[in-house]
Amino acid sequence: MKHLLLSILCLAAVSFANAQCEFGEHSTNWEDAWMSCEVSDNPNSAYDNGHWIMYDLGSPHEFFASHIWNYNVAGQTGIGIRNCNIDFSLDGETWSNYGNVEIPQATGASSYAGVDGPDFNGVVGRYMLISVIDNWNGNACSGLAEIRVDVQQTTVNVAENEGFDVVVYPNPVSDQLVVRHYQQDKMDLKVYDISGNLVVNQPMNGSTVYINVSNLSNGLYIVKLSTNQGVSSTQRFVISH
């Protein structure tokens, strides 16, 4: 697993991330922190214009534990992010919301060590988006010093030219398969072996389901998700113990 520092320097046109201002390593200097004072179009169309940071890892990764340093300039820590939405996406267009995260206000001291952030529990995405909801003092500007996330590169398959996108990973899989979609509908999930035999049949009430495949034989399988309206998408995966 890789320990990743998600840092931004907008002025250097780094392709790794996009935001509205500078971002550097954590310190008590305002020049080394990300701060946005002007709102702009959010990459997620579900949100209004605002302050945001979007990280592009260049390929699908699994996201795990995180650590966050809020804006730590003495006397100005109130502009640090208080509440934010965190979303993930594979294509930068369809987003999956992790939820609202509250970040404690920084101390303004050089000894400030930040706080443990969310453990994203292996959520998969190429893009990670932080959208500011409010800060600690109601200032028009919002800031953040640093965020570090444990990530692991992964291979996912996304269904194309079908009813909707289906994400299946890891692939090949040995014990637990993760199936994810980005629709609002409830789904029926079926898994077939290469001979067409139905080996898994279950409802899928949420957007993500974990399937134990440790008792299935090695080989090629097909997972099929279907809505109540008859729209379906399929994806192939390989079991290899």
Tens of pLDDT, residues 169-180: 888 888 999 998
How sure is the predictor about 162, in pLDDT bands with cuts at 50, 70 and 90? low
Domain boundaries, given as residue ranges, for the chain: 2-153, 157-239
Instruction: Mark 97-130 as b/e (b = at least 16 C-beta within 10 Å).
Output: ebeebebebbebeeebebeebbebebbbbbbbbb
Residues of the chain with pLDDT > 90, as a percent, come to 33
First to last CA, the chain: 21
Class of the CATH-defined domain 157-239: mainly beta
Where is pLDDT greater, at 156 or 62?
Answer: 62
Q: Do the domains spanning 2-153 and 157-239 agree at the CATH topology level?
A: no
pLDDT at 190 over 80: yes
Average pLDDT over residues 5-34: 45
CATH number of the structural domain 2-153? 2.60.120.260
pTM for the model stands at 0.62
pLDDT digits (tens, 9 = 90+) for 83-129: 999 998 877 887 888 899 999 999 998 889 899 999 988 787 888 99
